């Protein structure tokens, strides 16, 4: 009996700028593991951002940096009509279209394509990838999920071009749809659909510069600018022995990997019962690994003991979430830390052996209700400690608590056009954050 063939696709990024900071379609890789456990199913992956799929002549042109990060292959393309007047070069990041098409044509015809999506304003890359797939496989069903599909479901159904759109992070919704389409014969039991019982299908890739770990799902905070609770309601931690077993398994297959990135929204919360036992095993068995935290770490969760353990375990890229030094704004944005506690955490990290230049600090900028002067004070405070401030421009996201204020702050059609969710196009902070004023802050942060 012929196996049902499911092709997983990670589409292009389309934007004015993009940089690879340990980016992998982790949700798609978890789905790959769940689906290929089913009888009569064959799973393949085509990642438009995978450098290993580039011809060598093009791959040599892509600059890569340390620890598995670096540039994507990029091409200037015509911008969508809604942003045609923006005086910047719009680009497609990832495989050239003809290379993507050639990889598709080498495959046997899949029964279904499951495509993920990330930033809402990257949807033109989703649209184009679906169009190319339709040209190569006109009879194949295409299902779209991911962040854009969840936060902008109506827009995705109208404009993305997929046959079906699934929302949320529950693999059961996709499996029920596959059952209805007669792609699979039965929907797995709830235990088999639980992401805690799956492991990302890293072997679907040809090459491995780094791996990604997820020790928890969701976030207990409800920050008004963040869509985490919409994407994954609730908060769950994986048993530390399970996380370590996953790491050990994949390192046994890919011993050349030395860099691990955490994707958790709240990595350090409940650390004594979760991260600490995991790190103790890492220190004993894998003392040469480097860990990276592209998502900001919760400052209040870092104790002197945890700082020392992070250093001993090989935490190398440290990104800290300060967001603002304003007590009023901190309270409005979730109350995760205060200025004095932040200073103590920095002292603890330095005492553990981290030099100031290794500690980067995320600051939010352009949030409705925030002032330019406040961000200036935040930048100056971070720099006074010898640290590097990283300005994170606010992007309005549907369904978040700040969404109504964001829509009121600008005259563009935020609800109808996800392209305007791009923080490089639209400022929701009012005239305080005009392009010139924003550039002043960026210059101050870099100087």
Question: Which pair of tokens denotes residue 357?
Answer: 């230049």
**Check whether domain 4-193 has CATH 3.40.50.10420, yes or no:** no
pLDDT at 423: 86
**Every domain range in the chain assigned CATH 3.20.20.70:** 203-446
CATH number of 203-446: 3.20.20.70
pLDDT at 323: 95
**Every domain range in the chain assigned CATH 3.40.50.280:** 4-193
C-alpha span between 238 and 275 (Å, rounded): 10
Question: Which pair of tokens denotes residue 371?
Answer: 């002032």
**Mean pLDDT for each 10-residue chunk of the chain (447 residues)?**
91 97 97 93 97 96 93 97 94 98 98 98 98 98 98 98 96 95 91 91 97 95 92 93 97 97 96 96 97 96 97 97 95 91 97 96 94 96 96 94 93 95 84 86 92
Residues 6+ apart with CB under 8 A from 415: 398, 407
Residue 3 · residue 38 · CB < 8 Å: no
């Amino acid at each position: 009996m012929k196996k049902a063939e499911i092709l997983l696709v990670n589409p292009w990024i389309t934007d004015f700028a993009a940089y690879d900071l340990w980016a992998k379609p982790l949700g798609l890789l978890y789905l790959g593991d769940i689906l290929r456990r089913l009888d009569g199913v064959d799973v393949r992956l085509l990642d438009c951002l995978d450098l290993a799929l580039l011809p060598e002549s093009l791959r040599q042109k892509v600059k890569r940096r340390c620890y598995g990060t670096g540039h994507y292959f990029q091409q200037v393309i015509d911008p969508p009509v809604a942003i045609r007047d923006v005086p910047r070069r719009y680009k497609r990041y990832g495989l050239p279209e003809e290379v993507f098409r050639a990889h598709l044509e080498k495959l046997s015809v899949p029964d279904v394509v499951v495509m993920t999506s990330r930033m809402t304003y990257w949807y033109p890359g989703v649209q184009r990838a679906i169009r190319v797939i339709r040209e190569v496989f006109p009879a194949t069903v295409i299902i779209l999920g991911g962040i854009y599909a969840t936060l902008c479901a109506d827009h995705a159904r109208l404009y993305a071009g997929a046959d079906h759109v699934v929302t949320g992070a529950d693999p059961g919704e996709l499996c029920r749809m596959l059952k209805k389409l007669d792609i699979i014969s039965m929907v797995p039991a709830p235990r088999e659909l639980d992401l805690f019982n799956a492991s990302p299908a890293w072997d679907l890739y040809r090459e491995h510069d780094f791996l990604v770990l997820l020790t928890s799902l969701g976030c207990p905070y409800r920050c008004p600018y963040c869509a985490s609770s919409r994407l994954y309601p609730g908060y769950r931690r994986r048993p530390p022995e399970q996380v370590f077993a996953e790491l050990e398994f994949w390192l046994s297959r890919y011993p050349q990997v030395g860099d691990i990135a955490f994707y958790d929204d709240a990595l350090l919360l409940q650390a004594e019962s979760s991260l600490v036992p995991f790190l103790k095993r890492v220190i004993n068995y894998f003392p040469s690994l480097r860990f990276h935290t592209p998502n900001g770490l919760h400052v209040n969760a870092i104790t002197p003991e945890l700082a020392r353990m992070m250093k001993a375990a090989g935490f190398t890229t440290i990104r800290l979430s300060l967001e603002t030094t304003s007590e009023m704004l901190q309270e409005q944005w979730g109350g995760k830390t205060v200025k004095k506690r932040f200073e103590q955490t920095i002292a603890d990290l330095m005492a553990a052996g981290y030099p100031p230049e290794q500690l980067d600090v995320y600051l939010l900028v352009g949030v409705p209700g925030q002032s330019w002067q406040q961000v200036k004070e935040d930048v100056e405070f971070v720099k006074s400690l010898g640290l590097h401030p990283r300005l994170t421009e606010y992007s309005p996201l549907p369904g978040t608590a700040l969404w109504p204020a964001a829509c009121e702050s600008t005259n563009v059609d935020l609800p109808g056009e996800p392209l305007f969710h791009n923080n490089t196009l639209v400022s929701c902070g009012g005239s305080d954050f005009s392009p010139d004023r924003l550039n002043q802050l960026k210059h101050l942060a870099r100087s």
